[in-house]
Structure 1
Amino acid sequence: MTDPPQSLKPTRGPAGNAQAPSNGLFRMVRTVVALILREIATTYGRSPGGYIWALADPILGVALLTLVFQYALGNTSPPIGSSFPLFYASGYIPFVMYNDINNKMAQSLRYSRPLLAYPAVTFIDALIARLILNSMLHVVVFIVIVSGIAIIQGIPMVLDVSVVLHALALTALLGAGIGTLNCFLVMRFPVWERAWSILNRPLFLMSGIFFTYELMPKIVKDVLWWNPILHLVGLMRHGIYGVYRADYVSEGYILTVSLITILSGLLLLWRRYRALLELH
């Protein structure tokens, strides 16, 4: 087992006795920062262009959707605005952000398992570190891609920054909720990881990435409304396109799903995570 980062080791006084941190919050912050730095070094620092690939995925996804729907299918204009790349980016980026945070947090115990043997590190530290790092990464991705589209296509952008930030925050919260619950489920039931991957695939088609909710028939809308990612996409487009009202969006519903899943996941992990680590 490799030695833990220096900031995770207990401090010692002149007599050589371990001294507990005087402030529990300071200890948690120091531990979370150390875990973030560790993940930056191991996930993005060991492969050439590690950070570039974090941008390449959504850029290629938006480019592919643009090629398919604008050129291959011959669509003359997107459902909102005049820019196909901006329309697809406004839906694709929230979906990718939710999906990535969910997947990364679901693997938190496995990823930080060696460090969780130390009393200074808890499963909550591991979850918070992954949430902060991946949320920051996707905020940067959003800024780079949307700004790049606006500059390249000469689009006058008038974003409602507060709504856009609100949409990004709710996306991170939903990803954290589903990811925390899945963190327990994939450790307790190994088959759940593959089952969730299969169940999660239709969401790409059901989240409003290449259509708007208002264009769907009523019977379809009654089903799609229960997909919280659809609400996130609508809220994001409301912030990017001032003329798009997105009246169907319910922030209360997003918060309810997020809080129920995150509290359920935390309770299950708090009761069982030591036993789960011993099983793997």
Structure 2
Amino acid sequence: MEANAGVGQPRFRTIRSIMALMLREMSSTYGRSPGGYLWALLEPVGAIAILSFVFSFAFRSPSLGANFPLFYATAFLPFMMFNDVSTRIAQAILFSRQFLNYPAVTFIDAILARFFLNTITHIMVFYIVMTGIHVLFDLNSIIDYQLMIIALITTALFGLAVGTLNCYLFTKFTVWRSIWSILMRPMFIISGVFFLYEDVPSELRDYLWYNPVIHLTGMMRSAFYATYDANYVSTVYLYLLIGSLSTLGLLLLGRSYRDLIER
């Protein structure tokens, strides 16, 4: 009985720490601004509306189907999920530094708190936006729900992996935050939000394939367009990256996070 209690107590302490950090971030991130969680929904809705409005003047129809909002939403929402989850996790130690001085709270608690909160938020936004598009435009998409769920999980895990490594790099090297911000600016353009991978000239596809985010957007589009087969998507490549980046990030943080929180 005592042995079981000893095993359960640290586990309960970890859950309690994660929940406390999640509640803190909810209040600090969404509780202080007018509208709160409403802004998490308005941002993608506004971006998709603008993209649809602008490109509808240039093209009669998108590269897939006939609905511009659905075409852009299937790529923009996964991109935004990856970008937001990875960025939030990258700032986990900086955001929770004062709490990490307590022995009961670890850097893993801080990372998981941000991962769970932001993943749940983006899944909620994804559901509302996609449901809204289908209801508003009376769409009858043949959705592969299993593939859609896999795409969401893989996107969240890739955001976790990149964010974990950047959590070390952001805290250790201040200049890396500026470098990463510069690197991410063209990512929106080359991640398949505006176009399909197959539309790119063949000489550029070989380079574009190494962008993991275009695999995520292609996977999501395959889930919503029954006639689209994104055969370039490689889950093996994605999960190799997820495993490698997250392992490296955890090793670096495990060795030096106590020094990082005192910087």
Both structures adopt the same fold (TM-score exceeding 0.5): yes
The amino acid across from 1:159 in the alignment is: I
Asked if the contact 1:31/1:120 (under 8 Å) is kept, the reply is yes
Give the deviation of 1:63 after TM superposition. 1.0
Residue deviations 1:43-79 (CA, integer Å, cap 9, x gap): 11122101010011111111111112112x2x00111
CA distance in 2, matches of 1:201, 1:221: 20
Is 1:90–2:74 an aligned residue pair? yes
Could you say which structure has the greater relative contact order, defined with CA pairs below 8 angstroms and 6 or more residues apart?
2
Secondary structure of 1:23's match?
A: helix
Is 1:32–2:18 an aligned residue pair? yes
CA RMSD in angstroms comes to 1.3
Aligned to 1:55: 41
Give the deviation of 1:23 after TM superposition. 3.0
Aligned to 1:7: none
Q: 1:239-254 residue pairs with structure 2 within 5 A?
A: 239-254=223-238
Aligned to 1:113: 97
The amino acid across from 2:165 in the alignment is: L
More helix by share: 2
Q: 1:182-221 residue pairs with structure 2 within 5 A?
A: 182-221=166-205
The amino acid across from 1:203 in the alignment is: M
Asked if the contact 1:209/1:233 (under 8 Å) is kept, the reply is yes
Normalised by the length of structure 1, the TM-score is: 0.90
CA distance in 2, matches of 1:157, 1:52: 27
How many percent of aligned residue pairs carry the same amino acid? 46
CA distance in 1, matches of 2:220, 2:7: 42
Give the deviation of 1:115 after TM superposition. 0.7
The amino acid across from 1:216 in the alignment is: V
Return structure 1 stretches of 4+ with deviation > 6 angstroms: none
CA distance in 2, matches of 1:208, 1:47: 32
Asked if the contact 1:97/1:135 (under 8 Å) is kept, the reply is yes
Aligned to 2:51: 65
Which segment is superposed worse, 32-41 or 227-236? 32-41
Secondary structure of 2:194's match?
A: coil
CA distance in 2, matches of 1:248, 1:107: 32
Is 1:233–2:220 an aligned residue pair? no
Q: 1:154-173 residue pairs with structure 2 within 5 A?
A: 154-173=138-157
Give the deviation of 1:24 after TM superposition. 2.3
Is 1:147–2:93 an aligned residue pair? no
Give the deviation of 1:99 after TM superposition. 0.3
Q: Who wins on radius of gyration, i.e. which is larger?
A: 1
Aligned to 1:272: 256
Is 1:258–2:242 an aligned residue pair? yes
Asked if the contact 1:21/1:27 (under 8 Å) is kept, the reply is no
CA distance in 2, matches of 1:169, 1:41: 25
Residue deviations 1:70-103 (CA, integer Å, cap 9, x gap): 12x2x00111111000000001000000000011
The amino acid across from 1:224 in the alignment is: L
Q: How many residues align?
A: 259
Is 1:45–2:31 an aligned residue pair? yes
Give the deviation of 1:20 after TM superposition. 7.1
Residue deviations 1:230-262 (CA, integer Å, cap 9, x gap): 000000001111111100000011111111111
Residue deviations 1:86-140 (CA, integer Å, cap 9, x gap): 0000010000000000110000001111111111100000000100000000001
CA distance in 1, matches of 2:27, 2:189: 34
The amino acid across from 1:241 in the alignment is: Y
The amino acid across from 1:147 in the alignment is: T
| Structure 2: segments with no counterpart, 5+ residues | none
